[in-house]
Amino acid sequence: MPSEPSSISEHFGGIRDPRTGSNISHPLINIMTIAICGAICGADNWVDMEMFGKAKQEWFAKFLDLRHGIPSHDTFGRVFRQLNPEEFQARFYEWVVALRIRLKGEVLSVDGKTERGSKDGALGLAALEMVSVWASENELVLAQDRIDEGTNEITVIPQLLRLLDLEGAIITIDAIGCQTEIAQAIVEQRADYVLALKTNQEKLFEDVVTAFEPTVPPIPTDYHRTVNKGHGRIETRECWALSDPDILTYINAYKPWPGLHSLVKVTSTRLENGKSSQATRYFISSLAPDATRLLATVRAHWQIENCLHWVLDMAFHEDYNRARKDHAAQNLAILLHIALNLLKQESSLKVGIKAKRLRAGWDERYLLKVLATA
């Protein structure tokens, strides 16, 4: 086990200090180290980070130059407001690459999240929206970027995907990402896609729905069904997949979809407290019409909601954070992603993220173990 959090200085120590002049009391590496450790240990804002640093000052003094003490919350806020988020994200990506995660066959889910606390109506500031790429099996944020005001996820997704080595991976995106340009970007990187459909793709949606209607003779489809019981409910999921050449040719004649190999229909039925509800969703995919694989891929997509967005809100209280000025909200989002990745990778403690944060804050040996996963 390391005697100090050397992984932080290795991956994030070279970030350019946004401050100028000679009157700088706290080296940037001190601020980055305390902020990352604080985010792991339950510090959700700049005030928390100052308090955490002061509580652990004796420990930090073993490997940081603390001749001027612990930075104030104003210093944390000022530095992260000014820090170049593109450089921070680039270092984040380099760190993820250094983890040597195998992505071949992995389901990578792409989705956006609104940082609700970053909205300031009085100042006319819209809430920050971030798009993330989540690796479902490895449970890691691989990359993230903000959505510029006046645009949407469609402009950000191709840029994010080009950052990653996607060969052999399966990319899943909600309906807003069902765009030919995005499908092209995925296929060019030798990856596969499963793209959700809604009425935003009106013609395509109608054609896919029609493709699954009964015909004489019936169109061959692959079928798979799963039943899950637990927490007082029964959930049945059914998947149909087809790749009839005439249907695919007809769809591509209106708008060519790179690599399109299958159309997918998924119906979910939930029985709970004697009441039944049903939802049907449609997808297009570059994968072969294997209903078993496609249903597992569709289910894996929802991990980005349950294992990333929900955890950020519940365990890190992200939606309550009011960091707003300049780059503060975006840099704080990256900071929390670093903490989440480290906590997810540490597997010796079989508890949730919130409990891991508490343990890391209480036990410096466990904190070092979390940092050692980098």
Q: Which of 39-53, 157-171, 313-327 has the lowest mean pLDDT?
A: 313-327
* Residues 146-164: tens digit of each pLDDT: 888 777 888 899 989 998 9
* Residues 286-311: tens digit of each pLDDT: 999 999 999 999 999 999 999 999 99
C-alpha pair distances (Å), 301 with each of 62, 285, 350 = 43, 14, 23
- Domains in the chain (CATH in brackets) are 6-84+327-371 (no CATH), 95-309 (3.90.350.10)
Tell me the one-letter amino acid at 26: H
Q: Tell me how far apart the alpha carbons of residues 58 and 131 are, in angstroms, rounded to a whole number.
A: 38
Q: Tell me how far apart the alpha carbons of residues 258 and 263 are, in angstroms, rounded to a whole number.
A: 13
Q: What is the pLDDT of residue 7?
A: 73
Which residues have C-beta within 8 Å of that of residue 280, sequence separation ≥ 6? 265, 266, 267, 268
DSSP codes of every residue in 317-368: -GGG----STTHHHHHHHHHHHHHHHHHH--SS-S-HHHHHHHHHH-HHHHH
Say if residues 119 and 125 touch (Cβ distance below 8 Å).
yes
* Residues 92-101: tens digit of each pLDDT: 998 888 887 8
How far the first Cα of the chain sits from its last, in Å, is 12
Q: Tell me how far apart the alpha carbons of residues 164 and 28 are, in angstroms, rounded to a whole number.
A: 28
Q: Tell me how far apart the alpha carbons of residues 178 and 156 are, in angstroms, rounded to a whole number.
A: 13
Q: What is the pLDDT of residue 2?
A: 46
- Torsions phi, psi for 118 (to 5 deg): -80, -5
116, pLDDT greater than 80: no
* Residues 183-222: tens digit of each pLDDT: 999 999 999 999 999 987 889 999 999 999 999 889 999 9
Instruction: Select the more confidently predicted residue: 273 or 125.
Output: 273
According to DSSP, residue 270 is labeled: E
Q: Tell me how far apart the alpha carbons of residues 315 and 319 are, in angstroms, rounded to a whole number.
A: 11
Q: Which of 45-59, 91-105, 206-220, 340-354 has the lowest mean pLDDT?
A: 91-105
Q: Tell me how far apart the alpha carbons of residues 136 and 133 are, in angstroms, rounded to a whole number.
A: 10
Q: Tell me how far apart the alpha carbons of residues 84 and 69 are, in angstroms, rounded to a whole number.
A: 25
Rg of the chain over Cα atoms, rounded to whole angstroms, equals: 23
Query: Percent of the chain at pLDDT above 70?
Result: 94
Identify the CA nearest to 203 among candidates 178, 229, 238: 178
CA atoms within 13 A on the CB side of 227: 2
Query: Percent of the chain at pLDDT above 90?
Result: 70
Residue 274 pLDDT grade (very low, low, confident, very high; cuts 50, 70, 90)? confident
